[in-house]
Amino acid sequence: MSHYKAPVEDISFILYDLLNAQQLAELPVYADASEDMFRAVIDEAAKLAEQVLQPINASGDQEGCTFDPEQKTVTTPSGFIEAYKTYQEGGWSGLSSPPEFGGQGLPHLLKIVVDELCCSTNLSFGMYPGLSHGAIDLLSQHGNAEQKAYYLPKLNEGVWTGTMCLTEPQCGTDLGLITTKAEPQSDGSYAITGTKIWITGGEHDLSDNIVHLVLAKLPDSPAGSKGISLFVVPKFMEDGDRNPAFCGGLEHKMGIKASATCVMNFEGAKGWLVGEPNQGLKCMFTMMNAARIMVGIQGLGLAETGYQVSLNFAKDRLQSRSLSGAKEPNAKADPIIVHPDVRRMLLKQKVFTEGSRAMAYWTGLQQDLSHQASTPEEKERADDLFQLMTPVVKSYLTDEGYFSSDAGLQSMGGAGFTQDWPLEQLLRDGRIARIYEGTNGIQAMDLVGRKLTMKGGQLARTYFDEMSKLVSGVSNDLHKSNCQAMLAQLQEALGWLMKHALSDPEQAGAIASPLLRMFANATLAVMWANMAKLASESAIQARYSGDFLTGKTKAAEHFFRLHMPEQKALLDDITAGKDSIMALAANEF
Ligand SMILES: Cc1cc2nc3c(=O)[nH]c(=O)nc-3n(C[C@H](O)[C@H](O)[C@H](O)COP(=O)(O)OP(=O)(O)OC[C@H]3O[C@@H](n4cnc5c(N)ncnc54)[C@H](O)[C@@H]3O)c2cc1C
């Protein structure tokens, strides 16, 4: 059943009117990335999502992947091979990769939009090329000339896919505990031995080869995370021989059942060092940063579908009469969208989805500017914002995307819980996004422990400077003062952190998650205030429908009603510090 239509009106409003994405075409490297080019690519991506990926989403969930223990092979659900071929032949794999090795060199911002549409319609499918994209980023930045020339053209073409092999049974968050070994060989390669678990796309039938990027330890390497190196380990070698990197089984899991989550056994597999010895974790962070934004987009994509489904349902489903008198007197009851409690749920979804899209695309724009802006100062400024916002986008969009879909399911009553509607699958699929690529708790620790301390606190200074510029143009006085208040509360929380966490790191651990949320709330406030301002400008009226624009203005009011008090509550939570959190002994729980 088809439920989803790509939200092109909102995407256009955010890209071309709010963010002025056209500015990218002024940079020599993106000279082709005009508004027309953006529109053409997004239209094609919408067709791919609606017509190719959406039809195999529910069937893929029901069928799942299958493992053949004899052959050690994995079969993806019906239709996935054909869909991947369409994706690969459409040139989507290397969309934003540098052209030097076969990428199309288009902006990351455009890739984020395409990712959103794919995640909205088939999250499991999106995982296969998604991991390849991370591998492309990593090898582009850290591979040697030979590795780039050998792997990148095939990965960009999509005939090979990539994986990220970090997790082992005894270590997920704490990668310092890994035990996979890399023994140097006389030919300059390494023999990789160990077991990795939960490896997305570790084995499947979609591509000719699979390129594993594996964290392992060299002999005599320092203990902990300082002694980890990175290796590239292909499934098939150049001469066609099978490398002994075999799938040992598939994980049985709550959602994304069409994505192969594999145990991978490396049995002396041939690998080659990427980057410097013992610098593997640093290199891997390249892949993880790109992947973290993509995972945030998964939360947004799923929430958009959940919103569309529950909104349409609420307009059709007839139950009870409106409290202010019958709205459809000729029908037996009114549609449930008349009920204030249902509206609360729908508005939660609308406010989250549209605000988060603006925040995520704005962050994607910073990613492009951080690489390609005209001056070193502009690049550094954009990089500060991108680095700071990466854990915020990953964490907030996946947490709230999940809760937004949950509100959608609730608004549909029993129908939402059944497999007749896609909400139950959306919730099961979306749950993992809060866990992988570093749990959301670890994202908050990354924000507090790394991002806020980098360059002596410069990232936060750049953030406040940028936000105050964006607020200065807001014409609605109340919106402006609301934004200023929410930013001031965030600053107060940072002041508290500085005062208490330097001498007691547990204080930082205790407040990390609410602090990340305060960053998200403040950024969303600035986005909503600017969207409301735009929607009221006469120049824009001709390009968008009246309902779309008045819907924006009214939703902005609801955003502030919901999130102003939340910001204050989060500040109170933070300034209460760790005491009640750390008070109980383990046996008192
Ligand atoms: C479907 C799926 C696909 C995956 N794909 C991949 C993949 O392709 N490649 C790969 O390498 N891995 C993959 N993973 C693994 C995933 O990245 C890990 O599950 C995740 O990083 C968390 O590690 P863990 O599960 O071992 O949890 P743990 O590290 O055991 O953490 C358990 C809990 O403790 C918390 N915690 C741990 N340490 C701290 C701390 N210092 N401070 C605060 N809280 C802490 C965590 O936030 C979490 O809530 C996948 C997992 C799943 C389920």
**For 308-341, how does the pLDDT look when each residue is reduced to its tens digit (9 = 90+)?**
999 999 999 999 999 999 999 999 999 999 999 9
- The kind and range of the H/E element at 271 are strand 261-274
User: Can you tell me which residue has the tokens 């979306």?
Assistant: 430
Q: Which CATH class is domain 284-581?
A: mainly alpha
In testing the pocket of ligand 1, which one of 174, 213, 442 has its CB within 8 Å of the most ligand atoms? Answer: 442
Q: Is 438 in the pocket of ligand 1 (CB under 6 A)?
A: yes
Q: Is 229 in the pocket of ligand 1 (CB under 6 A)?
A: no
Q: pLDDT exceeding 90 applies to what percent of the chain?
A: 97
Whole-angstrom distance, CA of residue 91 vs CA of residue 77? 22
Is the pLDDT at 588 greater than 90, yes or no? yes
Atom of ligand 1 nearest to the CA of 200: 8
CA distances from 549 to 19, 220, 543 (A): 17, 63, 10
Atom of ligand 1 nearest to the CA of 439: 47
Contact 162, 119 (CB under 8 A): no
Q: Is 156 in the pocket of ligand 1 (CB under 6 A)?
A: no
Is the pLDDT at 119 greater than 70, yes or no? yes
Q: Is 170 in the pocket of ligand 1 (CB under 6 A)?
A: no
pLDDT of residue 285: 81
Q: How far is the CA of 57 from the centre of ligand 1 (A)?
A: 25
Q: Is 443 in the pocket of ligand 1 (CB under 6 A)?
A: no
Helices (H), 33-179: 35-47, 57-63, 80-89, 108-121, 123-142, 145-157
- The kind and range of the H/E element at 211 are strand 209-216
pLDDT of residue 291: 86
Q: How far is the CA of 286 from the centre of ligand 1 (A)?
A: 18
- The stretch 210-237 carries a mean pLDDT of 96
Residue nearest to atom 12 of ligand 1 (CA): 167
- The stretch 523-528 carries a mean pLDDT of 98
pLDDT band at 2 (very low <50, low <70, confident <90, very high): confident
Structural domain boundaries of the chain? Answer: 284-581
Tokens of 217: 């330890």
Tokens of 395: 């964490």
Which pTM was predicted? Answer: 0.97
Contact 483, 472 (CB under 8 A): no
Q: Is 432 in the pocket of ligand 1 (CB under 6 A)?
A: yes
pLDDT band at 358 (very low <50, low <70, confident <90, very high): very high
How would you classify the pairing of strands 209-216 and 160-165? parallel
Contact 438, 172 (CB under 8 A): no
Whole-angstrom distance, CA of residue 432 vs CA of residue 409? 18
CA distances from 450 to 391, 453, 464 (A): 11, 5, 18
| Choice among 75-79, 290-294, 430-434, 578-582 with the minimum mean pLDDT | 290-294
Cα 277–chain centre separation? 30
- The stretch 105-111 carries a mean pLDDT of 97
Residue nearest to atom 6 of ligand 1 (CA): 199
Q: Which segments of 361-415 are extended strands (E)?
A: none
Residue nearest to atom 31 of ligand 1 (CA): 173
Cα 243–chain centre separation? 32
pLDDT band at 307 (very low <50, low <70, confident <90, very high): very high
Give SS3 for 262. strand
Q: Is 449 in the pocket of ligand 1 (CB under 6 A)?
A: no
Residue nearest to atom 50 of ligand 1 (CA): 198
User: Can you tell me which residue has the tokens 């075999």?
Assistant: 246
Q: Please give the full DSSP string across 229-294, using - where no structure is assigned.
A: EEEEEESB-TTSPBPSEEEEEE---SS-TTS-EEEEEEEEEEEEEESSTT-HHHHHHHHHHHHHHH
Assign residue 188 a region (left: φ > 0; alpha: ψ between -120 and 50; beta: otherwise).
Answer: left
Of residues 110, 39, 135, 143, the one with CA closest to residue 368? 110
How would you classify the pairing of strands 261-274 and 245-250? antiparallel
- Polymer length of the chain: 589
Which residues share a beta bridge with 68? 73
Q: Which segments of 485-535 are extended strands (E)?
A: none
Is the pLDDT at 462 greater than 70, yes or no? yes
pLDDT of residue 1: 62
User: Can you tell me which residue has the tokens 């002694």?
Assistant: 227
- The stretch 491-499 carries a mean pLDDT of 97
Which of 116, 354, 437, 466 is labelled catalytic? Answer: 437
**For 24-54, how does the pLDDT look when each residue is reduced to its tens digit (9 = 90+)?**
999 999 999 999 999 999 999 999 999 999 9
Is the pLDDT at 284 greater than 90, yes or no? no
Tokens of 20: 């002025």
Q: How far is the CA of 439 from the centre of ligand 1 (A)?
A: 6
With a CB cutoff of 8 Å and minimum separation 6, the contacts of 326 are 334
Q: How far is the CA of 391 from the centre of ligand 1 (A)?
A: 15
pLDDT band at 540 (very low <50, low <70, confident <90, very high): very high
Q: Is 262 in the pocket of ligand 1 (CB under 6 A)?
A: no
Contact 422, 58 (CB under 8 A): yes
pLDDT of residue 551: 98
Identify whether 557 is a catalytic site residue.
no
- The stretch 9-19 carries a mean pLDDT of 98
Q: Is 135 in the pocket of ligand 1 (CB under 6 A)?
A: no
pLDDT band at 290 (very low <50, low <70, confident <90, very high): confident
pLDDT of residue 502: 85
Q: Is 253 in the pocket of ligand 1 (CB under 6 A)?
A: yes
HEC profile of 334-367? CEHHHCHHHHHHHHHHHHHHHHHHHHHHHHHHHH
- The stretch 78-98 carries a mean pLDDT of 96
Is the pLDDT at 286 greater than 80, yes or no? no
Whole-angstrom distance, CA of residue 29 vs CA of residue 25? 8
pLDDT of residue 263: 98
Rounded to 5°, the CA angle 313-407-126 comes to: 85
pLDDT band at 288 (very low <50, low <70, confident <90, very high): confident
- HSE, side-chain direction, 13 A CA sphere, residue 80: 31
Contact 398, 434 (CB under 8 A): yes
Contact 278, 222 (CB under 8 A): yes
**For 161-206, how does the pLDDT look when each residue is reduced to its tens digit (9 = 90+)?**
999 999 999 999 999 999 999 999 999 999 999 999 999 999 999 9
**For 419-455, how does the pLDDT look when each residue is reduced to its tens digit (9 = 90+)?**
999 999 999 999 999 999 999 999 999 999 999 999 9
Q: How far is the CA of 172 from the centre of ligand 1 (A)?
A: 4
pLDDT of residue 319: 97
Q: How far is the CA of 165 from the centre of ligand 1 (A)?
A: 13
Q: How far is the CA of 74 from the centre of ligand 1 (A)?
A: 24
Residue nearest to atom 40 of ligand 1 (CA): 442
